[in-house]
Amino acid sequence: MLNRTKHLNPKLFDADVEKKYIRDGFGQGLLFAGEKNRKVVALSGDLSDSIRLTQFKERFPERYFEVGVAEQNLATVASGFAYYGKIPFMTSFAVFSPGRNWEQIRTTIALNNVPVKMIGSHAGIAVGEDGATHQSLEDIALMRVLPNVTVIVPCDYEEAKKTVHEIVEHNKPVYMRFDRSKVPVITTNDSPFKIGKAEILWDSSNPVVTIIAIGYLVHNALLCAKELEKEGIQILVVNNHTVKPMDEELILGVAKRTGTIVTVEDHQIAGGMGSAVAEFLAKTYPVPIEFVGVDNKFGQSGTPVELIKHYGLDVESIKKAVLKIIKRNQKPY
């Protein structure tokens, strides 16, 4: 059942559940951050409207910087701001940043450990009709391998606002990733959020599988858990929003509790959140794992709903992975 201590949206399973853009939550969070802290500045690579910087740049024009279509320059300018005491939010589509400017991020931001907040919007296949060239499926892998960089993937509008609030005070480089589409609002203003602290959103008395999800697919994981409960299969669902540093204590605890894991993400399986979970458990408490994600493919044009189903990220695909891992766990190793 839903974990009542997490104060989730009571209507999240309704057919008419409220849907909002996660990027709107980021924009609101940035506006609030700018009002509270004059050190906050925003930089854009000619995508301010898409990434919801409009309110910030209208309220604080002297703290908004348009770099243009020059993502490598975007990273180096942001690093300079951070080096001299500002809190820069550098924003672009994930396919361009970190996709196009990874070396500059590595050298001028991560290596120097300066607190640039790197925002990658329009990530994953849910970008939809823009197609493979604009569907970043590799960005988590690119960013989590960099020393000093924190990687966060909020699940909805509310969590995006909270992420901005937290990372302003987080004196390290941060990569924040979110998608393009309107998605269900899962959490509320009262839901807990802390960097590095995963949350069990669906709990059970005798769970047999843990689903660990990130981003908007947390909602699909919860829908799957609700369906399986009707079939007598008890599940845990974890919102693992901080991919790095991961909540190792909680991940270890759920692995011991259920003995099987299914990871869910709109990203390449290789190098993504699921890989991070597997790397950790391989060293501490090896258990069978199934990975729901994009399996060594590029994206393509289509509606988000069509693509989520085609690439096996829908509720039915998560359910199949759960049933598969249960069957695997019944066999002797």
pLDDT digits (tens, 9 = 90+) for 254-271: 999 999 999 999 999 999
pLDDT at 36: 97
| Same domain (yes/no): 179, 220 | no
Task: State yes or no: is 71 an active-site residue.
Answer: yes
| Same domain (yes/no): 267, 138 | no
> Which residue, of 184, 216, 233, is where some domain finishes?
184
| Same domain (yes/no): 202, 295 | yes
Indicate which residue of 18, 35, 66, 71 is catalytic: 71
| Same domain (yes/no): 80, 217 | no
pLDDT at 128: 87
pLDDT digits (tens, 9 = 90+) for 64-76: 999 999 999 999 9
What CATH number corresponds to the domain at position 244? 3.40.50.920
Mean pLDDT, the chain, rounded, equals: 97
For residue 332, pLDDT beyond 70: no
| Same domain (yes/no): 43, 161 | yes
| Same domain (yes/no): 155, 202 | no
Burial pattern 210-244, b for ≥16 Cβ within 10 A else e, equals: bbbbbbbbbbbbbbbbbbbeeeebbbbbbbbbbbb
Residue ranges making up the domain that contains 108:
19-184
pLDDT digits (tens, 9 = 90+) for 235-245: 999 999 999 99
Can you tell me the mean pLDDT for 83-107? 97
pLDDT digits (tens, 9 = 90+) for 154-213: 999 999 999 999 999 999 999 999 999 999 999 999 999 999 999 999 999 999 999 999
| Same domain (yes/no): 199, 115 | no
> Which residue, of 137, 154, 184, is where some domain finishes?
184
Q: How many domains does the chain have?
A: 2
| Same domain (yes/no): 160, 25 | yes
> Which residue, of 150, 184, 218, is where some domain finishes?
184
Percent of all residues in the chain with a pLDDT value above 90, rounded to a whole number: 97
pTM of the model: 0.97
Confidence of residue 331 (pLDDT cuts 50, 70, 90): low
| Same domain (yes/no): 256, 161 | no
- Give the distance from CA 154 to its chain's centroid: 5
| Same domain (yes/no): 227, 272 | yes
| Same domain (yes/no): 198, 63 | no
What CATH number corresponds to the domain at position 167? 3.40.50.970
| Same domain (yes/no): 105, 143 | yes
Name the phi and psi angles at 126, rounded to 5: -65, -5
